Every structure is written in structure tokens, then in C-alpha cells.
Structure 1
């Protein structure tokens, strides 16, 4: 049997890590575009994109922040562009949705449940902050709720589906798979589903091998052959979880949104560095890496000619 090709997604900046955590975190539109293009060259078929205020590095979901790098990436690469609807836990769902609704990408992320999303333990590792907003933002995750109600999820599904945008469905716990199954049953999302299982976030499922296997077994039972499975491991869990995904027939997501490191105690100098590590891992096991067009075919995406940027 021919082994399936592996889709590598690269999440280049995210909305959780702050500038004081790494000097290599892309902040400006130019830095985000460069990071995405380098990730594509390294082997990523999909780039998952957030935007930031170029002066402070704070997460920013204004469409005006997205437009400059979206156009550059599209003009200079064939990579699949995935726009977040997750944004930042501080934002309303309407605010988080605005860029995907405006630019109508081939694919957008969609979180499948309200949850605690804690990253306040990072405070113990940071001595100095570059910007005033960072410390309060990190500490606030101790009490902040990441809001994704059934009504809000349905709103994102209906809004994005109307323009042919499909979804990277982010599932941080087993219950999120059942929420996806609920919306499948209501006909609000159609196969093939791209299920991104998230491991190691404080408030979600852990990153133990049994947790990863449990998520895979449950998704198999609920969705059968109608989905493609991918994983992301937060922080130090990034590559161990990616390896287990490969062994279980899945895909993988890397990038500085999910982990700032290349090896234990060694900051990654770029997103492309993490993509190369992931690619080498997959190829060492005999897998081939999917191109963007192969990923489009696997996920039944509408094509880059039907986006609004």
C-alpha cells in the first residue's frame, strides 16, 4: 500500500507568544510574509496566519494588518493560506472572524469549544518585557476564558462556508471532536474534515502518547474515512507529538505559534528551521511531503484563484 503524503502546516506567529519570549517571532507584515515564504520553501504546504501590530507585536485582527502580507505571499508562492479565526483569547468572535470573512481564504482555522487557555506559567521564565502589554496579557490567562460557544462556532461555519472557505478544525480535547460531530450531523460542515488535534495546552488534553492515541481513536470512530488528521504539540511537545502522528498515519503542524524552540533549550531561529526538522523526520520514516496543490486536492479546497486578496 502506498503511504499517504504528509501535509506540513506552519503556523508562523500566532496570538499567544509575545515579543519578549523570542527575538525571532515575526511581528511586522514583512517578517510574517518572509517567514511564510521560507516555510513554503522548506516544505510546508499550508501556512496558518495571524497578524500583529508592527509597533508593539500585540495580536491584531484588523483586516488592514493582514492585507499586506497576504498579497505578497500569494504573489510569490503557491502555498495554501490559512487565516485564523482564533485570533487571541482577548478578542470577541466577531473580531476574530473579520479577516477570514473579508479575504475568503481557501481554509480558515476554527476552534471547537470554549476552554481555559492558560499560559501564565511562562511568567516565571521572563525577567524583562519589551512592551507594557505583555505581562498583563500573560497573567490574564490565569482567569481568562477562550470563548467559542455553539452559536459562535455556527456563525463562523455559516459565514466562511458561504464563500467556499473550508476549515482547519482545531480540537483541544476529546469533547471538541464530539462538537465537530454535532455540526457534521446538522450538515453545517462537509467532508473531508481537516482535524487539527492540539496537545499540551494548559486547559486542554495533555501530550502523553495515550492522549494522542485516544484522540486518534476517537476521531477514527466518529469520522471514519471522511477526515485528514493533523497534530500540533505545544512547546517541548512539538516534535514528539509530530512523530506519533506520523506513526499513526497523520499529518503535522509546526511553527513559532506552537513552539519557540528547535531543540531543548535552543530557540528556533525561524519557522523554516522547524519545518525542515519536521520534513526530515517524515522523510526518515519513508514518507513523502505533500505539495500545496496535493494538499488542495486532499482537502478539497477551492483554489487560490477564488480568494479575495
Structure 2
């Protein structure tokens, strides 16, 4: 069991959650405020996507990322900033017998374009989604091919940013270890992402199987979505890992009670403490993750 726990708060995500919970942040000011709320509640790391302020839809706009990062760093220079680099991998297959008539939900760009905001802003951490995956029951696919992943991993390493490898299924972990074997990454973090249809399910057996296949000594965290957020946080801690919560993954604190990012951090810290552990401060988390001092 891990008793010194890194707590990541995933603030908003790219899902269709705006309007389903009034606390989902949309504008850069709201996303930065949510990050600071999570930090006050005890989060070690904040994980940020950005959204189009006019529509609430997910965005890759570097200017939006810049405003979020500047606002956070101006108010709190210690909190660890983790930016997604997963945007730009969405492909909506055309209906029926016209699969190449890609739908309006498609946003597919190359691996280096997905990293433009990382290149400019140099966050402490950025993500690398380690494989292609069916998303939901429709025709949406998240595309991240081996060639794209090699190019992305190489560039993240060149930028001196810590990679957090997002593992949505067992084959993703297999390929993540291949990137290490090829020397394309240095001491990455691993995030076990469970419960997203149709990746790995959010259950004890699956999480343990993934943990048993992590590289020796890996720094890792795990999460489940929806109602499995807190159970999987407890399970990750018990298996020796760290935790992630936040409105990206779950909109509810209790039945019928909308969560905020701060309330989810507070709830998971209560669980950590009742299990005999504690949440690490940002400074302690930087040391654990080998990030160096605040940027």
C-alpha cells in the first residue's frame, strides 16, 4: 500500500459534460479558478484541457492554454501543472457503408501538432495517450498509432517535459513499455484509465493485472470514471499507486449532488487519510516524480 499519495485533479476534460454539471469549468479563467480550488483542497497536480469559451466544446487553441497556465502560475507557483496532449486524435467514422465520409466530430492532426502548446508553455507534465481506442457505442475512434506515439514521445523527451502515459487498455501498456525499451522516454509516469467504453473496465482484477505489468519501480496512478471514481482511487492506493479525481471523470459527489473539483479532492483525501495515508504537497510531489523545482 502507498501511504504518501500524489493526488491529481482532472479539471474539465473534453467530454460532453458542459450543462450536465454547473461547476464544469469552460473559460480559461474558470479552468484556472478550478485548479486553484483543487490546490486549496489539497491536490498535488492539476490536469487541464481547454474548451472554446463560446461553445464549451474541446479546443486545441494554444492561446487558451497559455491563459490557463499563466493564471495558475501567477496565483500558485508550486502546484504541478499537467496539460493534456491528447487533443487532435478524434475520428468520427462515416455511417454505414460510407466509413470514409468522416463526420463533423473528427479532429485529427499529427503528433507534433498535438504538442504545440506543450512546446510553447513547457508544463511540468503532459500526457501521451498510448494507443487507439473505440470511444463509446457509436463511430468515434481515438487514433494514436505506433508511429505517432514514437514521434510524440521523442518530442516530449526533447522538450524536457515529464510524460504521463495514459493507459486505457492492456495493449497500451504493452506499447508504453516498448517506447521505454526503445529509449524514447525517460522515467515517465503511468496513468491507468479505467472504465471508458470500450477500454479496460474499472474493477480490481483489471487494475491489478495492469499494475503487475508495470515496469519495476514505476510511478503510477489509477482512476475510474463515474461512480467508480472513489472505489478505484482507494484500490489504486491499496495496490501501491497514486490517485486521480476531478470533473473530467465524474460529475457527482453523492447521489443527486453535483461535485466540484474541490469537493472531489476533499473526498478522496478523506479516503486516503482513513486508510492511514496522506496527500503529498506539490513540493513533495515534485520530488517524488523527479520534476525539479517549480517552473
Matched, 1:283 2:273: yes
* Inter-partner Cα distance in structure 2 for 1:117 and 1:304: 35
Q: By percentage of residues, which structure has more helix?
A: 1
- Aligned-partner SS, 1:189: coil
Counterpart of 1:159 in structure 2 is 155
For normalisation by structure 2, the TM-score amounts to 0.89
RMSD: 1.6
Is the 2:3–2:276 Cα contact (8 Å) retained in structure 1?
no
Q: Secondary structure at the match of 2:54?
A: coil
**Within 1, Cα distance between the matches of 2:2 and 2:198?**
34
Superposition map of 1:194-205 within 5 A: 194-205=189-200
What is the aligned partner in structure 1 of residue 49 from structure 2? 50
Once the two structures are TM-superposed, the CA of residue 59 in structure 1 deviates from its matched residue by 0.7
Q: Distance in 2 between matches of 1:224 and 1:160?
A: 22
Structure that is richer in strand per residue: 2
CA distance in 1 between counterparts of 2:204 and 2:254 reads: 19
Residue pair 1:61, 1:95 contacting (<8 A) in 2 also: no
In the other structure, the counterpart of 2:239 is: 248
Q: How much does 1:4 deviate? A: 4.2
Question: Where do 1:33-44 residues align within 5 Å?
Answer: 33-44=32-43
Asked if 2 retains the 8 angstrom alpha-carbon contact of 1:10 and 1:46, the reply is: yes
**Partners of 2:122 and 2:172 in 1: CA distance:** 24
In structure 2, what is the Cα distance between the partners aligned to 1:303 and 1:107?
Answer: 13
Q: Which among 129, 147, 172 is matched to residue 111 of structure 1? A: 129
**TM alignment of 1:86-165, pairs within 5 A:** 86-87=86-87, 89=90, 90-91=106-107, 92=109, 93-118=111-136, 142-165=138-161
1:80 alignment counterpart: 80
The DSSP-based 3-state class of the residue aligned with 2:284 is helix
Structure 1 residues not aligned, in runs of 5+: 121-141
